[in-house]
Amino acid sequence: QVQGRIIDRRGIGGVLVATALVHLGALLGLVLLAAAGAPGWSLVALALVAGAGLPPVSVSMRIQWGERIGAESRTAAYSLVFLVQELAILTGPLVFGALVAAASASVALGGVAALAGAGTLALAGAMRSSRPAAPDGGRGRVLRSPGVPTLLGVVLLLGAAVGTLEVGMPALASAQGQPAVAGVLVAMLSAGGIIGTAVYGVRRWTSPPAIRLIWLLAWMGVALAPLALFTSLPPAGALLLVAGLTLTPALTSTSLIVDELAPTARAEAFSWLSTAIGVGGAAGAAAAGAVGERAGPSAIFSLAALFALLGAALALARLRRSP
């Protein structure tokens, strides 16, 4: 939220430069201290600094697109942002693993940190012309904007569904005696997200984003529910692909709703969305662990479906009536 408020007040470029330097410095310091055999608490402290200084790249890209294009084109633009993010999530661990295999973990971390820092600084240079949001006295009071608390509640439930799935997929693969297949299940969910984002972004929509979000969450819940009945991995992978079709489009829709609810404090509102999905993910994972321990993997997928359907119900009851 702090980064978001600063972006709303002063623009994107300075925040990206500062966070890039903090993030890069902390990661490189982590590598050096680890090589020197520093105590564990110092490594944990630097890791916390690196996390706190993570550059707000996704937020910055959405802010910039929102300034440069009209509302009718933002579905495609925001979809592109999330598509790039999804591809990075898929390919990043592969690149890191290849570097670890070719050299060492320290070299891999240092190399990835340098690439991330250089890329963020280049992005900051391209965005220096970004203008701060127009002052309206509303910055810092995003949570009091009509509709925003409801949207955060919906995103919290969406994050809970995702966190539950992150526990459920490995649990199902392990229960079937094939723990290595968990990676395939995760890839199926991600592939669905990539396909869904591409289709969602190229279509010209006439319905408002809130209505789309309701349908997307309902689809996700309906697609996840049958997973409680399947113990075979191939049908489970197919259903995860279908459910994944809605995941990233749902996130895109939440960003479009922010444009409507908090147009002069979008960066702070985007930051709250990230917080909500992170907290929801952690809560969902914890709940999934408890449920899975008692009732097995099938119950975990029922819980994920329930979270998605509750999100759709909340959006239906409150969000569609927000201004």
Percent of the chain topping pLDDT 70: 93
Condensed to tens digits (0 to 9), the pLDDT of residues 194-245 reads: 999 999 998 888 889 999 999 999 999 999 999 988 778 899 999 999 999 9
Tokens of 43: 């490594």
296: left (phi over 0), alpha (psi -120 to 50) or beta: left
pLDDT confidence bin for 247, thresholds 50/70/90: very high
Query: Which pLDDT tens digit goes with each residue over 265-290?
Result: 888 888 889 889 999 999 999 999 99
The one-letter code for the residue type at 213 is: L
pTM (predicted TM-score): 0.84
Q: Give the tens place of pLDDT for each residue, 46-76.
A: 989 988 888 888 888 888 887 778 778 888 8
pLDDT of 323 > 60? The answer is no
Indicate the average pLDDT of the chain: 86
* Residue-level pLDDT at 137: 46
Judged on CB neighbours under 10 Å (0-12, 13-18, 19+), 270 is buried
CB 228 within 8 A of CB 299: yes
**For the chain, what's the residue count?**
323
Q: Give the closest residue to 250 by CA, choosing from 206, 204, 313, 196.
A: 196
Tell me: the pLDDT tens digits for 141-180? 777 778 889 999 999 999 999 999 999 999 999 988 888 8
Residue 304 pLDDT: 95
* DSSP 8-state code for residue 148: H
- Res 129 pLDDT > 70: no
DSSP structure string for 68-111 = HS-GGGHHHHHHHHHHHHHHHHHHHHHHHHHHHHHS-HHHHHHH
What does DSSP assign to residue 4? H
Residue 23 one-letter amino acid: H
Dist CA 127 CA 39 (whole Å): 39
**Does residue 295 carry a pLDDT above 80?**
yes
> What is the predicted pLDDT for the residue at 73?
84
pLDDT band (50, 70, 90) for residue 130? low
Can you tell me the distance from the alpha carbon of 22 to that of 54, in angstroms, rounded to the nearest whole number? 8
